[in-house]
Structure 1
Amino acid sequence: MINHGYVDMRRHSINDALDVIEEEESLFLKMENGDYDDELIRKIEDEMYDDISPCLGFDLGTAGSIYALSAAGHAPVSSCNGGTLGGWHPLPNPWIIFYASTGKMLPVISAAEVSNVGLIHGIEGTIELYSDDIRKLPRFARALIEKMNE
């Protein structure tokens, strides 16, 4: 899938990524406390627009990982939460497709292992990060930041 709305996020720092990860974790806590009610999820999305959240432009649950991968020097080019929080999406599982920077994959691989998400080679030299549960992507993001700091 081509990302016509691509934005190069690699200018963002680890601190930017941590801010987004914390926001996303807070959003997931609200959703969990509200039993993932569709109306609540729509309200949260509306609040993101009102607050001009850095998560805007990304499906709920993918922003933290996009920022973390970008801070690690990789270039995410497409993402989707798989419709796990409602709405139609082209595939049923969350994923992020990115181009990897040479020599910078070890923290990504380690973070994927500890957060129980998968990595596969995609088309045209990309790597696909995928999961069976959207809640694992914020865990991956936090683990990646931790691994980068080791």
Structure 2
Amino acid sequence: MKLFDIEPGQDIDPARLYRPHRSEVQGEDAAPGGNQHYQDLRAFRWPDVANAIAVEAGLIARIEAAAQPTQEEALIVEELCRLEDLSPDQALYGLDIGVGSAVLTVSAAGATPIASCNGGAFGHFHHGANPFVAFYALPRRILPIMRWARQAGLRLEINPDGVAVLHARHIADFLAFARSALAEQQ
């Protein structure tokens, strides 16, 4: 798996966080941050996070064990697409492999995920230059997310539009983030 040139740390001023109007994040026409592929992934719970960690860890292990990781990822993506209508939780809700558990963690923490990408961590081209999860959060919701990000070695920043963004150096750092969060809930 790729390593990305991301320095862990935080550049956070909670006063800069943007608070969207409900219409910006719900409904068929919602496209927060210009994300035309947005899906409303708010209101997940911690048992959903536990399931996502288990599913995603298994998929990542399968890719890492493969002789040709890029081809294995492509096979898994095909399998997940077929599974999505029958069992969206097992298909990671259509999210890229490697970011699903982090997206659900942000949601379970009360924030609103708006975009994510694994950055091509397994070899395929992706639009993100590195693995990231972008989300809206209230200042009181960002505090535990900051702690978990620090524990996992993620970079957390607020972009000029007031969107919080987690960046990972290694895709496994997102699993560490989700596991840190889940451990605090038990």
SS of 1:78's equivalent in the other structure is: strand
Cα distance in 1 between the residues matched to 2:164 and 2:53: 21
Change (3 A) 1:101 1:146: farther
Displacement after TM superposition at 1:97 (Å):
0.8
Tell me what 2:81 maps to. Answer: 49
CA RMSD in angstroms comes to: 1.8
> Deviation per CA, 1:6-53, whole angstroms, max 9, x where unpaired?
122122211112111110011111112225622211111122123323
Task: Number of aligned residue pairs: give it.
Answer: 149
If asked which structure has higher relative contact order (CA below 8 Å, sep 6+), I would say 2
Which consecutive residues of structure 1, in runs of 5 or more, have no partner in the other structure? none
Q: Is the 8 A contact 2:113 2:134 kept in 1?
A: yes
Change (3 A) 1:96 1:6: same
Displacement after TM superposition at 1:56 (Å):
3.8
Q: TM-score, normalised by structure 2?
A: 0.73
Which consecutive residues of structure 2, in runs of 5 or more, have no partner in the other structure? 1-32, 85-89
Percent identity of paired positions between Structure 1 and Structure 2 = 28
Tell me what 1:2 maps to. Answer: 34
Tell me what 1:17 maps to. Answer: 49
Rg bigger for which structure? 2
Tell me what 2:156 maps to. Answer: 119
Letter of the 2:49 partner, please give it: A
Any runs of at least 4 consecutive aligned residues in structure 1 with deviations exceeding 4 A, and if so which? Answer: none
Q: Is the 8 A contact 2:83 2:91 kept in 1?
A: no
Tell me what 1:136 maps to. Answer: 173
Tell me what 2:117 maps to. Answer: 80
Cα distance in 2 between the residues matched to 1:16 and 1:56: 11
Larger deviation: 16-25 or 41-50? Answer: 41-50
